[in-house]
Structure 1
Amino acid sequence: MQTNPFSLDGQSILVTGASSGIGRQVAIWLSQQGARIVAVGRDMQRLEETLSQLQGEGHTCHAFDFLGGDDVSAWMKALVKASTPLDGLVHAAGVQLPLPIRAMGLDHWEKIFATNVTSGFSLIKAFRQKGVCRTPSSIVMLSSVMAQVAQPALVGYCASKGAVESMVRAAALELAREGIRVNAVAPGVVRTEMAEKLEGLVGEDSMAAIERKHPLGLGDPRDVAYAVNYLLSPAARWVTGTSLAVDGGYLAE
Structure 2
Amino acid sequence: MMANPFSLTDKHILVTGASSGIGREVSVWLSKQGAKITLAARDSGRLKSTLSMMEGSGHTVEVVDFLDGTDIPQWLKAVAKSSSPFDGLVHAAGVQLPMPIRATSVAHWEKIMSTNVTSGFSLIKAFRQKGVCNPDASIVLISSVMAQAGEPALLGYCASKGAVESMVRAAAVELAREGIRVNAIAPGVVQTELVDSLESLVGADSMKAIEQRHPLGFGKAEDVAYAANYLLSPAARWVTGTALVVDGGYLA
Report TM bin, short chain. Answer: over 0.9
Aligned twin of 2:70: 70
What's the TM-score once normalised by structure 2's chain length?
1.00
Shift of 1:38: 0.2
Identity %: 71
Q: Which runs of 5+ in 2 are unaligned?
A: none
- 1:46-86 Cα deviation digits (max 9, x unpaired): 00000111110000011100000010000001111101000
Secondary structure of 1:28's counterpart equals: helix
Task: State the distance in 2 between where 1:62 and 1:137 align.
Answer: 20
Aligned twin of 1:144: 144
Aligned twin of 1:79: 79
Task: State the distance in 2 between where 1:89 and 1:34 align.
Answer: 15
Task: State the distance in 1 between where 2:219 and 2:61 align.
Answer: 27
Residue correspondence of structure 1 range 1-253 to structure 2 within 5 A: 1-252=1-252
One-letter code aligned to 2:2: Q
Secondary structure of 2:185's counterpart equals: strand
One-letter code aligned to 1:197: S
Secondary structure of 1:4's counterpart equals: coil
- 1:137-188 Cα deviation digits (max 9, x unpaired): 0000000000000001100000000000000000000000000000000000
Shift of 1:110: 0.3
Task: State the distance in 2 between where 1:87 and 1:176 align.
Answer: 15
Q: Which runs of 5+ in 1 are unaligned?
A: none
Aligned residues: 252
One-letter code aligned to 2:144: S
One-letter code aligned to 2:26: V
Shift of 1:236: 0.2
- 1:8-55 Cα deviation digits (max 9, x unpaired): 001000000000000000000000011000000000000000011111
Task: State the distance in 2 between where 1:117 and 1:136 align.
Answer: 24
Task: State the distance in 2 between where 1:2 and 1:40 align.
Answer: 31
Moved over 2 A (4+): none
Task: State the distance in 2 between where 1:5 and 1:216 align.
Answer: 28
Shift of 1:2: 1.2
Secondary structure of 1:136's counterpart equals: strand
What's the TM-score once normalised by structure 1's chain length?
0.99
Task: State the distance in 1 between where 2:43 and 2:99 align.
Answer: 25
Task: State the distance in 2 between where 1:121 and 1:199 align.
Answer: 30
